[in-house]
């Protein structure tokens, strides 16, 4: 079934009639050509997923009757990946799409000393994440933050373990996928010595992800894949 995103509806109730927003209504009516009585899925990115039937098709306010609803509690193994802004939009969008599919709770874009660009179209990133959420029918939309300087980011409060991954670390990462964590992943060329020292001073554990030198987005994907298996 096709999924529609309804962020303004905070709770779903069986038997309720809900109205899709203008953007989703237009997409459904003009692009997907939905029909009255067609079965669809609705989700709000805040834990609620519902199955329903199209009651009225309109390009500005399509209405849906909810037949079945289910609330998914937030994952207990909250994962934040704080990752350097990448050089190209294509690689960054691909990474964001996959991290959303894998259920990462928060994705923060950081500016490091070796980061080659510090621009981010946050609205575009949100749309990429929403499209991925609908495609894989996830219950929770990740929080997306960007762009924040590295030192500002590491001085915040975090949930669970704090980890900085880099190529010259001495110990391999030991993952408990049932626990929460924040993991820092650097740019091409990795974090520099100053950044590593600052992070360690703030309580981040230095770890090695792989024997291989991984691209930034590959490292993020590998870590998110392991955490996803814990849900």
Where does the pLDDT of residue 231 fall: very low under 50, low under 70, confident under 90, or very high at 90 and above? Answer: low
What whole-number distance in Å separates Cα of residue 7 and Cα of residue 130? 10
Determine the pLDDT at residue 227: 78
Contact 91, 37 (CB under 8 A): no
Strand partners, 104: none
Phi, psi (deg, nearest 5) at residue 225: -65, -40
What was the pLDDT predicted at 214?
A: 85
Q: How far apart are CA 140 and CA 88, in angstroms?
A: 27
What's the pLDDT at 53?
A: 97
Structure tokens at 55: 């009651």
Domains of the chain: 3-71 (2.40.240.20), 79-228 (3.40.1280.10)
The closest of 43, 36, 7, 10 to 22, measured between CA atoms, is: 7
What integer pLDDT is reported at residue 229 of this predicted model? 55
| pLDDT reading at 134 higher than 90 | yes
Cross-strand pairs, 50: 42, 69
The H-or-E segment that residue 65 falls in is strand 63-71
pLDDT surpasses 70 at 230 = no
């Amino acid at each position: 079934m096709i999924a529609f995103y309804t962020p303004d509806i905070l709770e779903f109730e069986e038997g309720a009639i809900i109205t899709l927003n203008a953007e989703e209504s237009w997409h459904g009516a003009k692009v997907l050509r939905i029909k009255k009585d067609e079965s669809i899925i609705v989700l709000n990115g805040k834990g609620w997923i519902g199955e329903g039937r199209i009651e009225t098709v309109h390009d500005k306010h399509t209405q849906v009757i909810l037949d079945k609803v289910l609330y998914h509690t937030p994952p207990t193994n909250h994962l934040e990946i704080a990752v350097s802004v990448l050089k190209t939009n294509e690689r960054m969008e691909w990474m964001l799409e996959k991290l959303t599919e894998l259920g990462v709770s928060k994705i923060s874009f950081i500016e490091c000393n070796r980061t080659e660009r510090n621009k981010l179209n946050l609205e575009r990133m949100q749309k990429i994440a929403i499209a991925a959420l609908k495609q894989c029918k996830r219950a929770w939309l990740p929080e997306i933050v960007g762009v924040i300087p590295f030192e500002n980011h590491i001085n915040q409060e975090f949930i669970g373990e704090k980890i900085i991954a880099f190529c010259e670390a001495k110990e391999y990462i030991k993952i408990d996928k049932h626990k929460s964590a924040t993991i820092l992943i650097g740019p091409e060329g990795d974090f520099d010595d100053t950044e590593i020292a600052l992070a360690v001073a703030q309580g981040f554990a230095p770890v090695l992800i792989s024997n291989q030198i991984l691209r930034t987005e590959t490292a993020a994907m590998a870590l998110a894949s392991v955490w996803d298996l814990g849900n």
